[in-house]
Amino acid sequence: MVAAVLAVGWAGLEQQSVAALLERAGPLGPIAIVALMTLAVVISPLPSAPIALAAGAAYGHALGTGLVLAGAMAGAMIAFTLARLLGRAFVVRWVGPMSDAGLLGSQNFLTWTVLVSRLLPFVSFDLVSYAAGLSALRPWRFVLATLVGIVPASFGLAHLGSALRQPAAGGAVWPVLALGLLTGLPVAWAVWRSRRAPGPAGASGSPAQSTKMPRRL
């Protein structure tokens, strides 16, 4: 559904003009895409989906996906690093009070939380990046979870932008919708797995059992 809405919006834009402008920029065009994607992640109100669509329209789904991935990863790492170095007060002022909660849990739980959030289009990409920086999540785990999680959406948007630039773009939405379904499968599996997991140890208040719980960070 998200892909279909984006497709309708993109069809109403001057996508030919946007793509032509990027192509005329020569070697600066790809740099501009990466820079804009980075800014869209670091600066919360800026949307990134139109940039990804433009990347696909100008450079095709393969190169477009690579540029979108590069910009999104750069922005995520900048947001993560800023939060870790400057602390909670800075993040709350920069992003808003919603980031004040941070992320809690073991390293594995935090990794899964970031990964699943990257697969959900309605979860703020930049907010998760800042919140992860406030947590104890190791940087390499954050990078891995983010990279794996954003590949489907990056490819889907770049492919959609590339396909919508073609004369016969009516069927372009279906591959993206199929990709969205595949993206939802690991999310459903994670929810099912979490529901099957046993309740927290030490619920009876036993000190011996509570020491076996993963450390809450």
Q: Concatenated DSSP letters for 31-84?
A: HHHHHHHHHHHHSTTS-SHHHHHHHHHHHHHHHHHHHHHHHHHHHHHHHHHHHH
Mean pLDDT, range 50-71, rounded to an integer = 89
Helices (H) and strands (E) in the chain, counts: 9, 0
Q: What is residue 195's predicted lDDT score, i.e. its pLDDT? A: 57
The share of the chain scoring above pLDDT 70, in percent, equals 62
CA distance 46 to 152: 21
pLDDT for the residue 174: 46
Closest to 142 in 3D by CA, of 150, 133, 155: 133
Mean pLDDT of the chain, nearest integer: 74
pLDDT of 186 reads 52
Rounded-to-integer distance, Cα 176 and Cα 142, Å:
26
pLDDT at position 205 is 44
35 pLDDT above the threshold of 50: yes
Q: Is the predicted pLDDT of residue 8 greater than 90, yes or no?
A: no
**Residue 96's pLDDT is what?**
73
Residue 148 pLDDT exceeds 60: yes
The alpha-carbon radius of gyration of the chain (Å, integer) is 19
pLDDT at residue 89, rounded to an integer: 87
- CA proximity to 134, closest of 174, 97, 187, 186: 97
pTM above 0.85, yes or no: no
Q: Which has more confidence, 188 or 79?
A: 79
For position 60, what pLDDT does the model report? 87
Most confident of the ranges 23-32, 143-152, 187-196: 143-152
In 3D space, the residue among 18, 91, 20, 76 whose CA is nearest the CA of residue 51 turns out to be 18
Question: What pLDDT is recorded for position 9?
Answer: 47
Please state, in angstroms and rounded to a whole number, the distance separating the CA atoms of residues 195 and 201: 15
What distance in Å separates the CA atoms of residue 178 and residue 155, rounded to the nearest whole number? 12
Residues 6+ apart with CB under 8 A from 118: 125, 128, 145, 146, 148, 149, 150, 153
Looking at per-residue confidence, does 77 or 50 come out higher?
Answer: 77
Q: Indicate the pLDDT class of residue 168, thresholds 50, 70 and 90.
A: low
How confident is the model over 104-131, as pLDDT tens digits?
778 898 999 999 999 887 788 888 999 9
| pLDDT value for 129 | 92
- Asked if residue 161 has pLDDT above 50, the reply is yes
